[in-house]
Amino acid sequence: MSGIKRLEHNPEWISWIKENVERGCDRLQLKQILLQNGFDAGSVDQALTQCFTKRSKLEAQSNSKTVFQVHVPHVYYAEPISTEKTHLHLISQSTGKSLYLQDPLNPALVSQVLSSKMQLYLIADFMSVSECEEIIRLGNPHLRASTVSMPDLSTLDSPSSKVQKLSDQTYVDLSFRTSQTCDLALLNHPSVSAMDQKIAKTLGVNVIHSEGTQLQRYCVGEQFKAHTDYFTPNTEEYARFAAERGNRTWTFMVYLNEVKSGGETQFLSINKSIRPRQGMAVVWNNLLPSGEVNPQTLHAGLPVLEGEKFVITKWFREGLA
């Protein structure tokens, strides 16, 4: 029995259990993983019981916002991303083995872009080719001009202004964002609902905390200049768009096609540009651990140079729908 290990002698695995229990992972699945790694069944049951009992007590004391804040994939440590890699994978800090986000029976291989400035993750092959093509087919006939919540107000009264205010209090600003958008949630289609549930399950956040998923199309020359996804607190923008549901927390974006040239997503604070790959998800936290907004999440959709780019974007909120 020399191969049997006890959890109390492996503090890094105790930490792994605690963090995955906090994220809402299934007890039976966690137990299977621990047993497969050679741990004694008795010590596994004892550790899981302690962690799940503690989580139940915390949930009883917490409101929905607090519970939401802990359902994040920050427990994973990945090797730095190399631009030469096409298949990204997650590495356990303690064992060097691949781990999975959320559901081991339906794994999503994840890599973290290591940075002290923001939480940023990539998930290769999150959506299949057929899933991507179906969403493009559904959304393409329903495109409208993409909007921003707040444009450069100093240009509004200029004769050459490219800004138009819409009835929903958003703006079309063709000097800043030139893509087209489809509000997929309005289509009420099963494929969209299935995609939404897949995203929420992968992230570990109930879909009721999310906004309706959008499809964006970028043609040659179209872009989205540097911006953040959160609403700046103590501003008119925040009062208009975030007072009721709270700020945006996570952004979950998926590339739906291969782009011939251009169209990278550029994160300015970490000097990293991510090239679109069909089916790959890019996921980041717009907030700091303190709950304050993180200006280091400033990013841009660079101009498409050849071909076109389709992406979906889903934002999560602090409050309920």
**Residue 57 — very low, low, confident or very high, per pLDDT cuts 50/70/90?**
low
Q: For residue 235, tell me if it sits in a domain.
A: yes
Over residues 257-313, the pLDDT tens digits come to 999 999 999 999 999 999 999 999 999 999 988 889 999 999 999 999 999 999 999
How many structural domains are present in the chain? 2
57 and 130 in one domain? no
Write out the DSSP string of 236-275. HHHHHHTTTT--EEEEEEEE-S--SEE--EEETTTTEEE-
Q: For residue 1, tell me if it sits in a domain.
A: yes
Q: What residue numbers bound the domain in which 33 lies?
A: 1-61
pLDDT of residue 58: 56
124 and 57 in one domain? no
Residue 139: give its domain's CATH number. Answer: 2.60.120.620
Tell me how far apart the alpha carbons of residues 32 and 246 are, in angstroms, rounded to a whole number: 37
188 and 48 in one domain? no
Q: CA dist 281 to 49, 120, 198, 284, Å?
A: 34, 11, 12, 10
Q: For residue 68, tell me if it sits in a domain.
A: no
**Cβ contacts of 19 within 8 Å, gap of 6 or more:** 75
Q: For residue 97, tell me if it sits in a domain.
A: no
Q: For residue 31, tell me if it sits in a domain.
A: yes
Cα dihedral 221, 227, 231, 235 in deg (nearest 10): -110
**Owner of token pair 């103590």:** 234
125 and 34 in one domain? no
Q: Which residue did the predictor score with more confidence, 266 or 83?
A: 266
**Residue 109 — very low, low, confident or very high, per pLDDT cuts 50/70/90?**
low
* Residue closest to 73 by CA, chosen among 275, 292, 316: 316
Last residue of a domain, which of 44, 61, 78? 61
310 and 223 in one domain? yes
148 and 218 in one domain? yes
Over residues 2-51, the pLDDT tens digits come to 457 888 888 878 877 887 777 666 678 778 777 877 888 888 888 888 88
261 and 140 in one domain? yes
